[in-house]
Amino acid sequence: MNQGKILVVDDDSQMRASLTHLLESAGYSVAVAGDGAEGLMALQANQPDAILSDVRMPGMNGLEFQTKVRDIGSVPVVLISAHGDIPMAVGALQDGAYSFVEKPFGPRRLLGILKNAVRMKRLLDNTEMLQDRLVELANLERVLIGNSPHIIATRDQIFDFAASPANVLILGDTGTGKELVARALHDLGRAPTAPFVAVNCATIPPDRFEETVFGSVTGGNGLLGDADGGTLFLDELGSMPFETQSKLLRAIETKKYQRVGEAAMRQVELRVVSAGSGEILQAVTDKTFREDLLFRLNTLVITLPNLADRGEDVLLLFRHYVDRLSTIYAVTVPDLTPDDIATLLSYHWPGNVREVQNVAERRVLAQKRGGGSVRRAITLQSIAQTVPETLREAVAAFEREVISRALRNEDGRMDEVAAVLGIGRRTLNEKIVKLGLDKDALLSE
């Protein structure tokens, strides 16, 4: 069993050979360098757990080398010193060296010192990793904002699943943050610097799907090749053509695939994170999605809650986006009025978190113009979702939506509705008739 990696830095080739034999016999892997400058290059290339360096070397001596190592990172340095170098070695200890051994040294004592040095290095690495994970968890809370039991459980799942190489299926409606979760699983995982390749299956033409995923002789690596060593995120999973599903399943099972037009097999190592709505389960029932592929993709499952099920989380989300967007647009952060709060909590948020962000941006832009409200921002959001083809239809749709909402918000009190809309009572009556609005039906919704 490998006990760790030791970098030996000594200008004496016989001493390097002797130390290499001793360390390898004790289970260490060894890298060697003939002087301090070479040692610094070997440090970068080999990332050792500990360094064993002579003090007296031509050019850069062991003390200078140790100081430069300290500036680069936290690898412990053990110095080998002759008797006359002991005061110098003691000074090096005060300057950050881990320990020193005096020549001639006993092999058991040297190995004991190196064992403790490697153990300390690994403890430091684990501590740094834990600190990084804690910071990442804090960042995750900023991505998945909220205090509801649903979202707390989801954050815990993400943090737990990130450490696993198993494939993950994320289920959730539009706007719930599926790609954010996929990115968090990657960033919190074992290889955050590896590729993260995201694709929306619904945006790939069916006749180009296989070439896009597997690549081709003329078109390059494809998604699998690009994501090798990292994470492939497949959004809108249910949109994948049925005829491609068996080939993807085989690639996941065997970790091998072929580019279109190429006979040779290519090796691939990656984690597949996929996302879709609950309709993917119906697709399996309808035989439009392969059950065996789903079983390969849903080793771990995260189900994202709709915002309507998260209670007062909407207030935290809205305030988060408003604060951030106010900084971007350089405007004063708008206050949340009682009506704003009531509107945020009573609205059903069909677009989930994405819709909150859009509404927050409209509210901030209105603040920049000197007015606005959450109710008005939601109205504009709803109108923007369906834009008719002609200008006349667009104007009619706009008026119909605005008047309908005003009627509902003011409980049908016509004077108040007219005042909110900034028009006369007679004009309001004419528009209701012209637009074919049923006041009683609107109020009963």
pLDDT over 80 at 380, yes or no: no
CATH of the domain spanning 144-303, picked from 3.30.1490.20, 3.20.20.80, 3.20.20.70, 3.40.50.300 = 3.40.50.300
Which helix or strand (DSSP H or E) is residue 233 part of? strand 231-235
Write the DSSP symbol of residue 308: G
More confident residue, 441 or 169: 169
Q: What is the pLDDT of residue 99?
A: 85
Average pLDDT of the segment spanning 309-328: 89
- Equal CATH topology for 144-303 and 309-443: no
The pLDDT assigned to 133 comes to 53
How far is residue 105's CA from residue 111's CA, in Å, rounded to a whole number?
10
Average pLDDT over residues 304-308: 91
Using pLDDT thresholds of 50, 70 and 90, give the confidence band for residue 445. Answer: low
- For 301, the 3-state DSSP assignment is strand
Please tell me the predicted confidence (pLDDT) of residue 423.
Answer: 84
Give the model's pLDDT for residue 7.
Answer: 94
Residue in the block written with tokens 């909590």: 345
Q: Which pLDDT does position 387 carry in this prediction?
A: 46
Residue 420 CB contacts under 8 Å (≥ 6 apart), including other chains: 406, 409, 410
What's the pLDDT band for 248 if we cut at 50, 70, 90? very high
pTM value > 0.85 = no
Sheet holding 50-54, edge to edge: 28-33, 4-9, 50-54, 77-81, 99-102
Q: Which residues contact 110 (CB under 8 A, 6 or more apart)?
A: 22, 52, 78, 101
Give the pLDDT band of residue 141 (cuts 50, 70, 90).
low
68-73 mean pLDDT? 84
- Per the CB < 8 A criterion, the answer to whether 57 and 32 are in contact is no
Per-residue model confidence (pLDDT) at position 71: 82
pLDDT (mean) for 139-158: 79
Which is more confident, 346 or 437? 346
Q: What is the mean pLDDT of residues 362-377?
A: 87
Would you state the structure tokens that stand for residue 239, as one six-digit string?
A: 């949109």
Three-class SS state of 215: coil
Residue 63 has pLDDT above 60, yes or no: yes
The overall average pLDDT reported for the chain is: 85
CA–CA separation, 274 and 290 (whole Å): 14
56 exposed, middle or buried (CB, 10 Å; 0-12, 13-18, 19+)? middle
Return d(Cα 104, Cα 102) in angstroms, integer: 6
pLDDT at 436 over 90: no
Q: Nearest Cα to 357, choosing from 238, 180, 206?
A: 180
Look at residue 337 and tell me whether its pLDDT is greater than 80: yes
Residues 354-381: b if buried by 16+ CB within 10 A, e if exposed: ebbbbbbbbbbebbeeeebbbbbbbbbb
- The residues spanned by each domain of the chain are 4-124, 144-303, 309-443
- The percent of residues in the chain predicted with pLDDT above 70, rounded, is 90
256-257 and 266-267 beta bridge pairing: antiparallel
Over range 225-230, report the average pLDDT.
92
Containing H/E element for 169?
Answer: strand 168-171
pLDDT of residue 328: 87
Query: What tokens were used for 415?
Result: 């004077």
Phi, psi of 413 (to 5 degrees): -75, 105
Structure confidence by residue, pLDDT tens digits, 261-288: 888 899 999 999 999 987 888 889 889 9
Contact 8, 16 (CB under 8 A): yes
Side chain identity, residue 301:
V
* Segment 350-359 mean pLDDT: 90
Give me the CATH topology for the region 309-443. Answer: Helicase, Ruva Protein; domain 3 (1.10.8)
What the block records as the tokens of 313 is 């989380």
CB 231 within 8 A of CB 273: yes
Average confidence (pLDDT) over 76-88: 76
State what percent of residues in the chain have pLDDT above 90: 29
The answer to whether 65 and 40 have CB atoms below 8 angstroms apart is yes
* Model pLDDT for residues 163-213, shown as the tens digit of each residue: 889 999 999 988 888 988 998 898 888 888 889 999 998 888 888 889 999
| pLDDT at site 272 | 95
How far apart are the two ends of the chain, measured CA to CA in Å? 71
| Candidate CATH numbers 3.40.50.720, 3.40.50.150, 3.40.50.2300, 3.90.1150.10; the one for domain 4-124 | 3.40.50.2300
The pLDDT confidence band at residue 234, using thresholds 50, 70 and 90, is: very high
Q: Which pLDDT score is estimated for 386?
A: 46
* Residues in the chain, total: 445
